[in-house]
Amino acid sequence: MKKSIPHTVIIGAGFAGLSAAVTLAAKGHRVTIVEKNKQVGGRARVFEKGGFTFDMGPSWYWMPDVMEDFFRQFGKSTSSYFELKRLSPSYQVIYAKDDVFCVPSDEEELKTAFEQIEPGSSDKLDIFLKEAAYKYEVGMKEFVHRPGLSVMEFMELKVIKAAMKLDLLQSFAKHVRQYFKSPKLLRLLEFPVLFLGAIPQNIPALYSMMNYADIKLGTWYPMGGFGQLVNAMYSLAKELGVDFLTNTEVKKINIVHDKVSNVETTSGILPADIVIGAGDYHHVEQQLLPKAVRNYSEKYWEKRVMAPSCLLYYIGVGKKLPRLQHHNLFFESDFALHAQAIYEKPAWPENPLYYVCCPSKTDPTVAPIGMENLFMLIPVAPGLKDTEQIRVKYFNELVERLEAFCGEKFKDDIVTTTTYAYTDFVNDYYAFKGNAYGLANTLNQTAILKPRIKNKKLKNLFYTGQLTVPGPGVPPAIISGQIVANYIIKHQKNIYESTI
């Protein structure tokens, strides 16, 4: 008797869900993605307003090798879908109005800039990056693609030897201070780990690999906006036969014995041989499953350390603004105080550090001619409930500070403003504690210590995304989808045949 093609239902059409869908469909699975929002992409959705095109979430296109490797598996390239442009300078760091460090994309220019700030630091940068390159190479090839279901995955001799050189037990803060003393250089090098979910003192030195990604691999931009990467993955998924049910929410996962039988959606019941939760892991577990078959208790989730959430502003300005680059990090304030408000004593920060993306400096298609597209972000503690008064307060503060930096008033020239914060993350994504970036990448939440990709009690239920391996960020989310899809493909006989 000929066996039917397995039907996999994926809950959520973010990067992890799209990645899993493409990987499974390419191996002959029938795949349906159910997405509660009208648009695919998850946090990387796009909206248009007043002639401006705003990327709602990710804006840093790092680790281009991960995206390129993904498409290459299916005989494609990113260039099949969009144009990538390397930014130069990569970004700028503003320490004060008249103290700005433009980070050159050319490494020799960067070393010269380091040397001017701290004599002798250029040679140390070479050594630092050599170690970071090893961590990136080993981390991305030996560790990041492992499903994290058993410690035995890491018991190969070459993996053990590699792990000993990865600085897992030393903090990033201590590691970077072995090479550099200048507060400016330290803030620059610690910046990439800020969104991993803890202060540099609590992040493993392994993550100097992020500095390698920053300096060696570069900062890129997909012309047309980050949504182009979503469109590319969506197009590939459709080409491979993936079905999409958008504006459709999963309300319940139904169980028969030790297997998922179907999912109940706002559009009806959808039979499933395999289900992948690619939305918020906590929501899938705590709201869609009966208590008896959940992996974790609510108490477990409350003990998780979350990466920051954020307060976002999407602003269209009716004129060009001087001094801004594509990426701008405003580090004029005391990071220790802001970090304390995020990680130690959660509260709305005073005089916060913030980030401004101005993609119209690179891409003329995202704003009307002669105008500027601004994306402004303040990292904040997860779980802080926002109000309209809070949004207005920080909007006025950031605009005032940005006007001072640019040396030009523009508040009266703003033609459109949209805000986004805790309430929106919860409403749109059911984000646990309104998180924007997932779990913090602390040592106690790494690899096998993250929430599992496989349900412990149901044979055909899996999870992917930023709350499981390998962690937060666009490249890790894409890899996460591949991890769970490849696990299903490898164990398909046990998973699928036991459901028929």
DSSP string, 249-261: -EEEEEEETTEEE
Name, in order, each residue with C-beta under 8 angstroms of 105's C-beta and a sequence gap of 6 or more. Answer: 86, 87, 88, 89, 90, 218, 219
CATH topology (fold) of 7-50+224-304+440-499: FAD/NAD(P)-binding domain (3.50.50)
> Cα–Cα distance between 186 and 188 in angstroms, integer?
5
pLDDT in tens, 100-111: 999 999 999 999
3-state secondary structure of 375: strand
Confidence of residue 159 (pLDDT cuts 50, 70, 90): low
pLDDT in tens, 435-494: 999 999 888 998 899 999 999 999 999 999 999 999 999 999 999 999 999 999 999 877
Mean pLDDT of 25-42: 97
Say yes or no to pLDDT of 1 above 60. Answer: no
Q: Cα-Cα-Cα-Cα dihedral of 14, 437, 379, 282, to 10°? A: 100
> Cα–Cα distance between 452 and 265 in angstroms, integer?
25
Name, in order, each residue with C-beta under 8 angstroms of 412's C-beta and a sequence gap of 6 or more. Answer: none
In the numeric block, which tokens belong to residue 216?
A: 């060696």
Contact 40, 244 (CB under 8 A): yes
Rounded to the nearest integer, the mean pLDDT of the chain is 94
> Cα–Cα distance between 315 and 50 in angstroms, integer?
10
N- to C-terminal Cα separation, the chain: 13
What percent of the chain clears pLDDT 70, i.e. is strictly above it?
97
Q: Angle at the Cα of 366 (from 361 to 371), degrees rounded to 5? A: 60
pLDDT in tens, 173-193: 999 999 999 999 999 999 887
* pLDDT value of residue 4: 75
Q: Say which CATH architecture domain 108-217 belongs to.
A: Orthogonal Bundle (1.10)
Mean pLDDT of 329-334: 94
Which of 14-18, 27-31, 373-377, 492-496 has the least mean pLDDT? 492-496
Domain parsing of the chain, residue ranges: 7-50+224-304+440-499, 108-217
Position 51, amino acid: G
In the numeric block, which tokens belong to residue 459?
A: 């044979």
Say yes or no to pLDDT of 162 above 80. Answer: no
Mean pLDDT of 46-68: 97
pTM of the model: 0.96
Strands 354-357, 372-380: pairing kind: antiparallel
